[in-house]
A and B are shown apart, each in its own frame.
Chain A
Amino acid sequence: MSGVILDKVVKRYGAVEVVHAIDLTVEPQEFVVLVGPSGCGKSTTLRMIAGLEEISDGTVEIDGRVVNRVAPKDRDVAMVFQNYALYPHLNVADNIAFGLRIRRTPKAEVLASIEEVAGILGLTEYLDRRPADLSGGQRQRVAMGRAIVRHPKVFLFDEPLSNLDAKLRTQMRAEIKRLHKRLGVTSVYVTHDQVEAMTLADRIVVMQDGHIEQIGTPMDLFLNPVNTFVAGFIGSPPMNQIEAIVEGGADAPRATFAGQSIALPKLDELSSRVGEKVTIGIRPEHAKIEPAGADAISVELDLVETLGSEALLHTTLAGNPFIIKAETGGDVEHLNQVTQFWAGPETIKVFDGKTGRAFGHPATSYQGGS
Chain B
Amino acid sequence: MNMNLYSRGDKTFVWLNMFLVTLFTLSTLYPFIYIAAVSFSSGFAASSGKVVLTPINATMAAYNYVMNEPQFWISYRNTFIYTIGGTIMSLLFIIPGAYALSRPQLYGRRFWNLMVAFTMWFNAGLIPFFLNMRDLGLLDSYFGIIIGFAVNGFNLILLRNFFENIPQSFEEAARMDGANEFQVLWKVYLPLSKPAIATVALFCIVSRWNGFFWAMVLLKDDDKVPLQVWLRFIISELQDDEEFSSTLVDAAYSFETVSAAIIVCSIIPVLLVYPFLQKYFNKGILLGGVKE
Contact = CB atoms under 8 A, between A and B. Distances in A.
Do A and B interact directly, with beta carbons closer than 8 Å?
yes
Contacts of A51: 176
Main SS of the interface on chain A?
loop
29 contacts: A50-B172, A52-B172, A52-B175, A71-B175, A72-B172, A72-B175, A72-B176, A73-B175, A73-B176, A73-B177, A73-B179, A78-B176, A79-B176, A81-B169, A81-B172, A82-B169, A85-B169, A85-B170, A85-B172, A87-B191, A88-B192, A98-B174, A98-B187, A102-B177, A102-B178, A102-B179, A102-B183, A102-B187, A103-B178
Given A52-B172, A79-B172, A85 B167 contact: yes
Interface in A94-108: 98-99, 102-103
A149 to B, nearest CB: 10
A52 B188 CA distance: 17
B251 interface: no
Interface string A188-213: 00000000000000000000000000
A32 B19 CA distance: 69
B192 to A, nearest CB: 7
Given A102-B179, A146-B177, A87 B172 contact: no
B191 A89 contact: yes
A256 B177 CA distance: 59
Nearest to A147: B176
Interface in A273-289: none
A14 to B, nearest CB: 13
B292 interface: yes
Contacts of B183: 102
B292 A88 contact: yes
B170 A87 contact: yes
A77 interface: yes
Nearest to B171: A85
Interface string B184-211: 0001100110000000000000000000
A83 interface: yes
B238 interface: no
Contacts of B179: 73, 102
A82 B167 CA distance: 11
A326 to B, nearest CB: 44
B173 interface: yes
| Residue from the set A52, A85, A98 with the largest chain B CB neighbour count within 10 Å | A85
Contacts of A72: 172, 175-176
Contacts of B169: 81-83, 85
